Structure 1
């Protein structure tokens, strides 16, 4: 039986699968200080270039924004600045739409 998975979960697993062999290689060839540096960089990359743009894209689509992809690209290129700008000036006034069992429910923040 086929199941539908969240695109963010699939992306997270793919990024983890890409970083895992690098971490193993790094630990076998260098010291632990380098591993810490690499791990912190991987954490930064996941937060700044995967989670923040994904969050902006899901929120903008939920609010039916015409510029969802544009804000996602801005947030990917300028991670923290783009995220703040989206929530200050780019967020539409429409309520966030969530699909629940085939019907739409509006959530007003």
Structure 2
């Protein structure tokens, strides 16, 4: 029987694949400037390519936007500009609705 992996596990694996080469590069070169670059890039990647598109997707779904995946793709491909475009242009006027937890 096939099982579905948790999206967070898949995301964690993809982030590890992205950052392992940078971490190995830092270990080989081993200077403080490269470590600062590594952590700076990690923070940029997590904010610009994970947190902002994630917020856009959740907000677009909660407001019943016409295409939440399209807005999320825009926010991912144009990290900060896509988020600003969604915030000013793409947000429907409907209030954000949170679905009740089906497990409750």
Shorter-chain TM range is: 0.7 to 0.9
Alpha-carbon distance in 2 for matches of 1:71, 1:16: 21
Q: What is the number of residues matched between the two proteins?
A: 97
Alpha-carbon distance in 1 for matches of 2:15, 2:70: 26
More strand per residue: 1 or 2?
Answer: 1
Structure 1 residues 87 and 58: CA distance shift in structure 2, 3 A = same
- In structure 1, the partner of 2:25 is 26
1:59 is displaced (CA, Å) by 0.6
- Larger relative CO (CA 8 A, sep 6+): 1 or 2? 2
TM-score by length of 1: 0.73
Give the CA RMSD over aligned residues. Answer: 2.2
Structure 1 unaligned residues grouped into runs of 5+: 103-109
Alpha-carbon distance in 1 for matches of 2:27, 2:38: 13
1:85 is displaced (CA, Å) by 1.2
Alpha-carbon distance in 1 for matches of 2:52, 2:15: 17
Contact 1:26–1:35, Cα closer than 8 Å, also in 2: no
Structure 2 unaligned residues grouped into runs of 5+: none
- In structure 2, the partner of 1:56 is 56
Alpha-carbon distance in 1 for matches of 2:43, 2:72: 19
Alpha-carbon distance in 1 for matches of 2:72, 2:27: 37
- In structure 2, the partner of 1:14 is 13
1:93 is displaced (CA, Å) by 1.0
TM-score by length of 2: 0.76
Alpha-carbon distance in 1 for matches of 2:9, 2:94: 28
- In structure 1, the partner of 2:46 is 46
